[in-house]
Structure formats: C-alpha cells, structure tokens
Structure 1
Amino acid sequence: MDGSHGVDAQTRQDERLAALLPRFAERAAVHDRSGEIALETLDDLRQAGFLALAVPREKGGGGIGLRRTVDLVARVARADPSSALILAMQYLQTAGIACSSTWPDDLRDEVLGSVVRDGALVNALRVEPDLGTPARGGVPATRVRRAGGRWLLSGQKIFSTGSSALTWGLVWGVTDEPEPRVGQIVVPLDLPGVRIEKSWHHLGMRATGSHTFVFDDVDIPDRYLTSLQPVGAGSPETASVARWHAIIVAGLYDAIARSARDWLVDFLHSRVPSALGRSLATLPRFHSVLGEIDGLLLVNTALMERGLTQAEAGQRAEDDGQIKRIMTENAIAAVAKAIEVTGNPGLSQDNPLERHYRNVLCGRIHTPQADMVLESAGKHVLVPAP
C-alpha cells in the first residue's frame, strides 16, 4: 500500500486482527477436536472486512498485493491454520478473478460484488476421486452437457476447502461437446442439485471442512461458463495463480512452525523438574535444539523474501516451487525437533504442539508437490527450452 491513506488503513487492519487472534487461537483447539469449520472465526473476519481485501480498490475491496496477503494469512495461521487456509484460498481466488483476461466484466462484478457486499467466500473446486489433482494433467470427469437449451453440470470434487462456508465454487470441468472445452464453471453453491458429502477425516488441518461436493444435473446459466479452452490448450491464468498459491501456502505452514517454536520456548522456561531445580531453558541441550529450529526458520525467512522480491519484480516464477518445497520441509523439521525433545508433553492433546505437528505435515500435499518440483527444477537445467 502506498501513501498515508494506505498506511493508516493497514494499521487499522493490523489493530483489528491483533484483537481477534487470541479468540481465533482459543477456538482452533475446539474445532480441531470437532472437525468442523470455525464459522464464527470466518464471521469475525467478514465483519472486520478481511474477506474482501484482495478485491481491487476500484471494485470496493482492499487491493492488497502478494506480500500483504502472505503477511495476513501467516498471522491468522499462527492462531488458527485451518481458518487461515480458507482465507488464503479466498485471497487467491478473488485476486485471480480480478486479473483474469477471460472473465466477462458482468460476471466478475457479480462475484466480486458479493464478496465486498456480503463477505461471500469463493474457492476453486478442482480435485476429483479418480483424477486426483489436475496439476498432474488429465481431463476432469466433471462435465456440463447441453440439454433442452440448458447446461447441466454433473460430477464430484473432493478436498474442497471451506465447503459448507462457500458461496461460490469455481468448478474445473469439461463440456460434453464433439470438440470439448475445459475450464472454470462458476457455480453458486446454493443451486438445486448441489450437495456436500462429509468425507474430510484427516490427520491435520481438520477444521478446513475439505469435504466432497456432488453435482447432480445442476442447471448452470450460460454466463457462468468462463475461461473454457479446447482440451490441451491450457489456462491463461495458470502461471500467476500458481505463483501466488506456492508462496502463500509456504508462508502459512511456516507460520505453524513458528507457533510451535513459541510454545516450545514457553514450555522450556516453565518446566522445572524437581531433580534439576531449575528450568529446562537453562540446559545446553535445549539451547542447541532451539538453535537448530531457529536456523531452519531463518532459511525460510530468506526464501520467502526471495520469492516475494522476484514476484514484485515480475521475474520468472521458476524458483517458487522450490521455495514452497524447502520452506514446507523446514517447517515440518522444526516442529519435529520440538516434538522430539518434549516427550509426552509434546504429544499430549492437552498441549498445542501435537496439533501443530499434525497440521504442518499437511503442507506436503499442496500443489506444487515435491516430486514435480524437483523434476521440473532438474529439467530446467538439463533440458533447455527450445
């Protein structure tokens, strides 16, 4: 943000968020146990104006860029990672809609207007039971067919972060035409024929509500078929959205590790074994462990700055996958070290460290995944582009 108005607005946002974060952290443990979305946390973010911050200012939003997005998502993630992931997808998708070259203006205004006016939540619904993640290629089984002058959508989408809290789904599907087209289908998720099957029973990030959407001949108005391209042509928005996704996700899981680190520091100061007569924080063994953890997080800080600087300079995004991979692995290693040295207290559900560990492990499953990142990085060196 530039100018005094922007600085003042950012300061007010920071103050509002700081007041909310203790509340978010307290709820996080409860919703981790229940496996339900923290709807009250999302409502707090809505009322405080945070859900529309990635919408351009000329459309009534906050117009924040990637650096500010990473900062806000990380702050929320230190308190409640599941809600932070829903927020991250909100920012990613609304920013993508705003800069899309294929969305018609009236549809863009309809969706972004609902975000600004009502705090509507948006996410892409892409992964399927048989196909897996579309980042690995393939054509979706989710299809729209023409029948009686209408488009009817049928299919399933799994791992749908935010599920029951969403207003809009950007469904990746293919047309049932002689020459099929593939792309986003905008779906108001309250339409007849849309239902949610509870299927998210994961080790970590349990309160993301990443359940399965089932579409059963959902009547889709023509104007909601956007960004459709011939199969194999690719998406014009892929590169920019992928860059934001990699960097935002890296920042989120790094934030989980920093919460774990802070808990460890407090634990070592407060833990005074009777046989020792002083806190664990006085022992060289724990000094070394904390040094290792802080070293990993220091590398993450440098990597994040590199990614943000390259993005702001408009440089090629070839490092973003490696940044996400390394930051995620460093975050997991940092929390694992904290678990290793705390023993039973670290693994007890009475303490947040075991939850941080379960949550941080989920960083590996997000696109881009490690095997694809490493293959792409090696190919870039060994097989020059024609």
Structure 2
Amino acid sequence: MVSAVARGEPSTALVLTMTYLMHRGISRADSRWSLRLRDALYRSAVSDGALANSLRVEPALGSPARGGLPDTVARRVGDGWELSGHKLYTTGIPALRWLAVWARTDESEPRVGVFLVPREAHGIRVIESWDHLGLRASGSHDITFREVEVPEDNLVEIAAQGPGAQQDNRALAALHLPLNALYLGVARAAQRYFHRFAHERVPSNLGHPVAETERFRRAAGEIELLLDSAEQLVFGGAERVDAGDDSYTAEQALGTKVLAARHATTAVETAVRLLGNPGLSRANPLERHYRDIQCAPVHAPQDDIVLLALGKAALG
C-alpha cells in the first residue's frame, strides 16, 4: 500500500508510513507501551484516522542513530512531567494527533524516555522551516516544547543512560522496509513517465518513437532490472517479517535498506540522463521524482553505519 500511495504522492506516503511504523512498534511483543496508551492510539486511528509520529532528531544531536543524549528535557512536576526542547523533521506535523517525544530527565543521573504528547497540548509551537529538495509537501517542520505538561500515565518508557537508552539500529532494521517501499513507488512513477516519454517522443530525424531505439530499450531494461530486484528484496523481506520468520536477520534488513535505496536512485537517475534537459525542467514530472528520490539514502541509519554493522557481522 505504501508503494502504491507513493506512486501518486510520496509526501502523503511518508506521513502514512511514520504512523504505520509507530503502530508496528507498539504492537511488538516486546513493546513497553501500556494497554491504555495503545488503546488510545488504536481507537483514534480507527475512529478519526489519527496520525502519529516519533520525534527524535534535534539541532545539536542530529540523528540518534549515531548515539548521544537528547537535549529535550523532562522535569518532574507534581504527579507528572514537563517537557521543554526542540525537535527537527517532525514529518506530518500539520496533521498529526500524537507525538512520541524522546527526552532525557533533568536528574543528576539522567534517564532517557519516550513521552506521548497530544498535538493540541499547550506549549507546543511549530516553526515552518521545511524547505527541502524533495518530499516538500510532507510538512516536516521544526517543533518546540515549552513546559508542556505530560501526565505520568503518558510516560511510554524510561531507562537509565547507557546502550539500552540509545537507538538500536539493528533491532529497528526491519522497520525500514516500508520506507524502502515508499521510494520504490517514487522510482516506479518515474519509470512510468520514462516509458510514456519514450513512446511519445518522435524526433524528426528518426521518424519513429525513441522507444524503438536500442539506447532507450537498453536503459528501459536496466531500470526494470534495478527496480524488480529491489522489490524482491523489500517485499520479500516484508513478507518474512510479517510471517514471523526468525531466519530473516537484522543484517539482511539493513542490507536491503542500502541496496533498495541505491537501486531506486540509480533507476531514476538513468531515466533523467536519457531525457536530458527536459528531464530537469520543473514542468516535467520526472524532475519531481528525481528530487524526491534523493531523500532515499538520507533516512537513518545511513550507509556507513549499515556497512560497518554488516562488515562486523561478516568478519565476526
């Protein structure tokens, strides 16, 4: 479904994917979400289509995929908490209902936790800063919290500082498969336009569509090979995860994340090169697909972290 939505509007697909990922995490057997909080999210999603996202990235820290403590602080106030801080890339914030905020306590020995905050809570401010190369309609703006009150019951989890409090890229590996599916949708949309162009473009010196030339046919074959192989990795991996296949390893999911992003990006770039200047015109749909696909390799964990993990496993 994510891939199908992304063929038409990848920004919408990204917002949807973030909600899916939260729901997937909540439903895991090892989830620390209370039954009350799970029920609140599930019911609002079913009754109102409520969207949710996790807020982790910060100006000073960057992505938690590389370790470190958040600057967003949770302070004890009475029977609850107060949150203050600044988050980046809050995808879908104009439409979100729920915010799962990653923060540290202000204790002498800080603990790190996740706090569920309703979007309408007092003290939240959206800074409309999103001005990106791709996925421009995703509304991934900055957001600040100023003494936002959070009831004790809305504390999802909290842990002492240490490895357990950091983002576990290996454990989260399979959750990146829906994002891969999103960018494959972008690449398939680019491929669809490439085919249309090839059939409609009839240069006067040829007298027939460029789709009949070896150059375009060879490129079309390369694009299909790249995308077909990437889809086998992504959709095959997703089927194994859904089936509870324990033989599907985190390393395989991480490898799929890298390869699928590379294949999708290369496929779109190949189409753009064949079209030449028309492919980079703002009036051309391919230009938007080209911009959007540049976001594929950026999602954490990035290639260097993944390759290091794969290398350690291979040599271990």
Q: Check if 1:111 corresponds to 2:41.
A: yes
Q: Check if 1:98 corresponds to 2:27.
A: yes
Gaps of 5+ in 1: 1-71
Q: What code does the residue aligned with 2:25 have?
A: G
Pick aligned residue for 1:248 from 178, 187, 190: 178
Which structure shows the bigger proportion of residues in helix conformation? 1
CA distance in 2, matches of 1:291, 1:149: 63
CA distance in 2, matches of 1:250, 1:149: 42
Which structure shows the bigger proportion of residues in strand conformation? 2
CA distance in 2, matches of 1:327, 1:149: 47
- Partner of residue 125, structure 1: 55
CA distance in 1, matches of 2:218, 2:286: 19
- Partner of residue 278, structure 1: 208
How many Å apart are 1:219 and its aligned residue?
A: 1.0
Native 8 Å contact 1:77 1:252 kept in 2: yes
- Partner of residue 300, structure 1: 230
Q: Check if 1:349 corresponds to 2:254.
A: no
Native 8 Å contact 1:125 1:169 kept in 2: yes
Secondary structure in 1 matching 2:32: coil
How many Å apart are 1:190 and its aligned residue?
A: 0.7
Secondary structure in 2 matching 1:140: coil
CA distance in 1, matches of 2:304, 2:227: 23
CA distance in 1, matches of 2:235, 2:94: 35
**What is the percentage of aligned positions where both structures have the same residue?**
44
Q: What code does the residue aligned with 1:253 have?
A: Y
Native 8 Å contact 2:170 2:251 kept in 1: no
Native 8 Å contact 1:246 1:368 kept in 2: no
Q: Which has the higher contact order (CA 8 A, sep 6+)?
A: 2
Which deviates further from its counterpart, 103-112 or 334-343? Answer: 103-112
CA distance in 2, matches of 1:240, 1:373: 9
Q: Could you report, residue by residue, the CA deviation over 1:136-192 in whole angstroms, capped at 9, with x for unpaired residues?
A: 101100011123554110001101110111010000111112332212110111111
TM-score, structure 1 normalization:
0.77
How many Å apart are 1:324 and its aligned residue?
A: 0.8
Q: Could you report, residue by residue, the CA deviation over 1:80-129 in whole angstroms, capped at 9, with x for unpaired residues?
A: 00100111111110121233531111122122211111111100011000
In structure 2, do the counterparts of structure 1 residues 111 and 373 end up closer, same or farther at CA, with 3 Å as the change threshold?
A: same
CA distance in 2, matches of 1:104, 1:229: 15
Q: Could you report, residue by residue, the CA deviation over 1:256-313 in whole angstroms, capped at 9, with x for unpaired residues?
A: 1111111000101011112221111111111111111111112212322442354231
CA distance in 2, matches of 1:215, 1:235: 21
Which deviates further from its counterpart, 355-364 or 173-182? Answer: 173-182
Q: Which runs of 4+ in 1 moved over 4 A?
A: 235-241
In structure 2, do the counterparts of structure 1 residues 237 and 105 end up closer, same or farther at CA, with 3 Å as the change threshold?
A: farther
How many Å apart are 1:353 and its aligned residue?
A: 0.2
Q: What code does the residue aligned with 1:193 have?
A: G
TM-score, structure 2 normalization:
0.94
Q: What code does the residue aligned with 1:355 have?
A: R
How many Å apart are 1:338 and its aligned residue?
A: 0.5
- Partner of residue 314, structure 1: 246
Q: What code does the residue aligned with 1:359 have?
A: D
In structure 2, do the counterparts of structure 1 residues 150 and 265 end up closer, same or farther at CA, with 3 Å as the change threshold?
A: same
Which deviates further from its counterpart, 252-261 or 105-114? Answer: 105-114
Q: What code does the residue aligned with 2:109 have?
A: E
Native 8 Å contact 1:168 1:186 kept in 2: yes
CA distance in 1, matches of 2:232, 2:56: 32
CA distance in 2, matches of 1:239, 1:114: 29
CA distance in 1, matches of 2:215, 2:41: 54
1:47-126 equivalences under 5 Å are 72-99=1-28, 101-126=31-56
In structure 2, do the counterparts of structure 1 residues 241 and 90 end up closer, same or farther at CA, with 3 Å as the change threshold?
A: farther
Q: Check if 1:173 corresponds to 2:68.
A: no
Secondary structure in 1 matching 2:260: helix
Q: Could you report, residue by residue, the CA deviation over 1:316-364 in whole angstroms, capped at 9, with x for unpaired residues?
A: 2211111011110111111011000101221111121010000001001
Secondary structure in 2 matching 1:287: helix
How many Å apart are 1:236 and its aligned residue?
A: 10
Q: Check if 1:325 corresponds to 2:235.
A: no
CA distance in 1, matches of 2:58, 2:167: 21
Q: What code does the residue aligned with 1:125 have?
A: L
